[in-house]
Every structure is written in C-alpha cells, then in structure tokens.
Amino acid sequence: MYEDEKLVCEDCGAEFVFTVGEQEFYAEKGLVNKPKRCPECRKKRRMNNRRHRKMYDAVCSKCGAQTQVPFRPAPDKEVYCKECFSKMAES
C-alpha cells in the first residue's frame, strides 16, 4: 500500500525519504499531512522550541533538590528532578 517517497525539506531544501514505516506510523496516529522538514531540521526545530519554554521552579519530591520543570507544579502532585526521574524510569 505504501511506498518510500522522496520529499524536499522546506527549511534546508535537502531531499529526504518518507519511508514506508514512517507513513504507517503517521497513518496509525491519524496524521494526514506529510512531513515538511527533513529529520535533521525537525530535530533542530524541536530543540529550539524547548529552549524557549517557560520553566518553573520546583523542589524534587524525592531528594529535595531545587530544579526547574516545563509545567506549573501542582501543590498536590509530586515533582522530580532529572536525576530522580531518570532513576525511576530505569526501574
């Protein structure tokens, strides 16, 4: 049903392949538009968006360290620093 498709990045003009696997993933998620950017430009764009996020001060519920999170902490919810969150995800 799907075939690899060559597309041109709207940011850098490079050709990239929209693979069968990616097309299946897009269809599974209900995404109807093809990607406009190559994987490298998509990655750069995501990183740039992360740098401009508003960060909120918080105290880690596990170790008590001061940290920052990209969401407004709710008083009744636990918040973890990167290190504690990573350790919990590994478990």
**Domain-by-domain residue ranges, the chain?**
5-51, 56-90
Section 27-48 average pLDDT: 94
At residue 41, what is the residue type?
Answer: C
| Residue 91 pLDDT | 72
Section 19-48 average pLDDT: 95
Angle, CA 23 vertex, CA 38 and CA 10 arms, to 5°: 25
Pair of tokens at residue 52: 């401009």
More confident residue, 13 or 89: 13
Q: Where are the alpha helices (DSSP H) in 1-91?
A: 20-28, 39-51, 82-90
